[in-house]
Chains A and B, each alone.
Chain A
Amino acid sequence: GAVVSQHPSRVICKSGTSVKIECRSLDFQATTMFWYRQFPKQSLMLMATSNEGSKATYEQGVEKDKFLINHASLTLSTLTVTSAHPEDSSFYICSARVGSSTDTQYFGPGTRLTVL
């Protein structure tokens, strides 16, 4: 149980285009989902917290107009990188949590974004 999927696993795009990454909780309903960014050999950096049916809460320094997050249902959250640039190339990981704030987060397999 507690499986989280991400799609696509890898994407290459041209600079200036937008890319959408999906995060799905496959066997549970996630009231809260999180989006992280990870640079090589570094820890995870939380970008935003997403609650179903409400606006995402972004961490300080994360551009909400560039990284659009939508949490349309209890099993799906999407991250759209708008007008992507090479510096947006990174490993993006989502996680999902079932209920209260102290419940375990379950992580997706990650999406490798490369912007040319």
Chain B
Amino acid sequence: AQSVTQLGSHVSVSEGALVLLRCNYSSSVPPYLFWYVQYPNQGLQLLLKYTTGATLVKGINGFEAEFKKSETSFHLTKPSAHMSDAAEYFCAVHSYNPGGKLIFGQGTELSVKP
């Protein structure tokens, strides 16, 4: 079975600072991993995904994530935070059960201080 753990339910950074949102996964098979962002009262928007191949994945809005099998991690980073990055971020792993549902982490709320 697959699972996802996001460390830190709330992260606060200053504008221009590095953003680091942590995600660790558990999977007995090669995982497909995703990061989604949710703005208040909206649905989820795909930031990036890892399937196979290059372990450093670049997404939209300047975000990227690195798949590290040895650490079972898929942390999300952005070099310089912008006020508009303030949102809820969800890490998810694809579940290899019939139907292929996503298993979500509990989410991390990112606040950006001016």
Contacts and interface: CB of A to CB of B under 8 A. Distances in A.
Contact of B51 (A97, A102, A110): A102
A101 B105 contact: no
Nearest to B44: A107
Interface in B90-106: 90, 94, 96, 98-102, 104-106
A110 B107 contact: no
Main DSSP-derived SS at the A contact region: strand
A28 interface: no
Interface stretch (A13-21, A39-47, A61-69, A70-78): A39-47
A102 B32 contact: yes
B102 A105 contact: yes
Interface string A43-58: 1101001000000010
Interface of B: 32, 34, 36, 41-46, 49, 51, 90, 94, 96, 98-102, 104-107, 109
Interface of A: 4, 6, 32, 34, 41-44, 46, 49, 57, 91, 93, 95, 97, 100-110, 112
Given A43-B105, A49-B99, A104-B34, 5 more contacts: A4-B43, A34-B101, A101-B98, A104-B49, A107-B43
